[in-house]
Amino acid sequence: MFPVLVQSRGRYLKWGILTLAVCVCVMILAPYGYYFAVDLEYGFLRDKREFFFSSGYFVAFYTHIVGAPVAFLSGALQVSGSLRQQWPQMHRWLGRFYCVLVLTAVAPGGLVMGFWAYGGLSSQLCFSLLAGLTWVATVLGWRFGRLGKFKRHAKWMLRSYILIASAICLRLIHPLLSGLQLNHEVTYQLSVWTSWVLPLVLVELFSPFTDPAR
């Protein structure tokens, strides 16, 4: 009975975290009207108005902001054990869809956007590294799935998804770090690094996918 209770609580915790993440994702989507109306006086777009169109930045920007939420939500469905067991074909097609989105839109768009990130060299390095690691993790996850090495596949895809979810973590972490009363730019730099390094470390420490032979 006790293992069943622990498993049940773990399931509730997992879906509770996902529900919170989806709610934050909806909050992120709220200002999209300003983005598609191209209001260059809104939010962080003010810092990009001088080169938004002339540099081609807008291509990477729209590719990323459209692809990332779709990849995040499709990836959230992949967490479901019921989906994997009862509808394995759907799991595979959703996985392919997720990988294509990340490899062709989310990661490349994020890499280009990283070159102009607020916060100077530290933030630029952070977002560029994040985009590169996301791309690599997704490729490896896809490859191990194709090879039938499902433990490795699951772990690399989990890494990929954690990196994709960094935008969610950033919205949760930044208000907390703002309470430290540091310089705004420093606070942002700390927030963007923490938003993916900390979750990735936690996954490496506590992930159940620990058998390297499969």
pLDDT in tens, the chain (214 residues): 434 444 455 566 666 666 777 777 777 788 888 888 888 888 788 889 889 998 989 999 999 999 999 999 888 888 767 777 888 888 899 999 999 999 999 999 999 999 999 989 999 999 999 999 999 999 999 999 999 999 999 999 999 999 999 998 998 899 999 888 889 899 999 999 999 999 999 988 887 654 444 4
Tell the burial category of 184 from Cβ atoms under 10 Å away from its Cβ (0-12, 13-18, 19+). Answer: exposed
- Amino acid 208: pLDDT: 62
What number of other Cβ atoms are within 10 A of residue 27's Cβ?
Answer: 11
Q: Report which of 168, 209, 211 is spatially closest to residue 191, judged by C-alpha positions.
A: 168
125-132, long-range: CB within 8 Å, 24+ apart, which pairs?
126/189, 126/192, 126/193, 127/192, 130/163, 130/166, 130/196, 131/107, 132/107
Q: What is the dihedral of CA 179, 181, 185, 188, to 10 degrees?
A: -20
Residue tagged 């985009």 (tokens)? 131
Domain boundaries, the chain: 21-206
- Helix (H) / strand (E) element for 186: namely helix 184-206
- Amino acid 42: pLDDT: 85
Q: Which tokens in the block code for residue 143?
A: 């490859």
